[in-house]
Amino acid sequence: MKKEKKGQHFIKKPYYEGGMNAMKIFIKQQLSYPEKAKAKKIEGTVYVRYTINYKGKVIDAKIISGIGYGCDEEAIRLVKLLEFNVPRNRNLKAVFHKNLQIHFRLPKEKEVKPVIPTSSLQYHYTLSPKIKNKEPEKKPSYTIVINS
């Protein structure tokens, strides 16, 4: 008979359904950039320490290092939206502490290219056929003009 494998840790830690990538996607979708920070063009990273109860809910969140202008409050709001899966821990009701970094980056503005009216476009192509003879005589060339 094979021995039953025991878990590596005595108390199993909570995890976000889908892993860290799913958490990043959730935060990116829920993040709303504060108007104060947009106006002042503030960017940076907010470090948050939060507490997860035995049910998987975030019950407390504190800013470790913030950037202000409403970004700290937005980071706390985002962290409190998170829900975790907590495996059974031998009927213990433990709380867990975790840290999270939330990056605030201003959306990049797209360059606006001027629109050229298509009626004034002309394309000029010059075609020169290859001549195998090395005669310095006249070389035929063709020009095609396309107006659209």
pLDDT tens-digit series, residues 104-116: 998 777 766 666 5
| Structural domain that includes position 124 | 118-147
pLDDT of residue 121: 58
Residues of the chain with pLDDT below 70 are 1-7, 111-148
Q: At what angle do helices 71-81 and 19-30 cross, to 10 degrees?
A: 130
Are residues 69 and 96 located together in one domain of the fold?
Answer: yes
pLDDT the model gives residue 113: 67
Does some domain include residue 12? Answer: no
Residue 91: left if φ>0, alpha if ψ -120 to 50, beta else—which one?
Answer: left
> Letter for the amino acid at 16?
Y
Cβ-based neighbour number of residue 125 at 10 Å: 9
Which pLDDT belongs to residue 141?
A: 63
Tell whether 100 and 56 lie within a shared domain: yes
User: Are 30 and 70 contained in the same domain?
Assistant: yes
For the segment 62-74, what is each residue's pLDDT rounded down to a tens digit? 999 999 999 999 9
Q: Residue 20: its pLDDT value, please?
A: 93
pTM, two decimals, is 0.66
One domain for residues 32 and 91: yes
89 and 142 share a domain? no
> Within this chain, do residues 70 and 140 fall inside the same structural domain, yes or no?
no
CB-based contact 60:79 (threshold 8 Å): no
| Phi and psi based region of residue 59 (left: phi greater than 0; alpha: psi -120 to 50; beta: remaining) | alpha
Domain total in the chain: 2
